[in-house]
Amino acid sequence: MAAIEVITSQEREVKMKKITGEPYTILIRVWNETVSNLTLMALGSSAPEILLSVIEIFGNNFEAGELGPSTIVGSAAFNLFIIIAVCIYVIPAGEVRRVQHGHVFWVTVVWSTFAYIWLYLILCVFSPNEVEVWEGVLTFVFFPLTVLSAYIADTYTGIFGQR
């Protein structure tokens, strides 16, 4: 994970000019924080269960086994309940914290909820106990759409410039 932090913390210099014409230099991050969290950080921390699921799918002739989906759902449940509980618990009494990027938060909430519904549809409705190629391809397509919609929510300022 330290390597991912090194990659995502990279900055570059951008030369700018003030209204008076005087040049100055600013540092900007190469990676957008939202994009790096949804891609590198998420994949880096979830790599073991993702790899376990991929190996099981290939080993079961593209049929869903008991281990893969359960591992991913279990990890997601742990993240949903335990991690959030710890984050709430460590806030000192009398203090309040707010979500900084509310739009991004709601985009990820919608996509996360959709992911559970999609997993149910794949494993129980469309092709019970089997993952078909089109389902896998469509699932992979959802990931860049998730990242893109979160990036847009993070950077779009609206018609009047408000966020």
In DSSP notation, 33-53 reads HHHHIIIIIHHHHHHHHHHHH
Supply the pTM of this predicted model.
0.72
Residue 15 DSSP SS3: strand
pLDDT of 80: 78
- Enter the tokens of residue 121: 């549809």
pLDDT of 158: 61
Mean pLDDT of the chain: 85
Q: What is the pLDDT of residues 137-154, one digit of tens each?
A: 999 999 999 999 999 999
Q: What is the pLDDT of residues 106-130, one digit of tens each?
A: 999 999 899 989 989 998 999 887 7
Q: What is the pLDDT of residues 51-98, one digit of tens each?
A: 888 888 888 887 777 887 788 778 878 877 888 899 889 999 999 888
Distance CA 139, CA 135 (A): 6
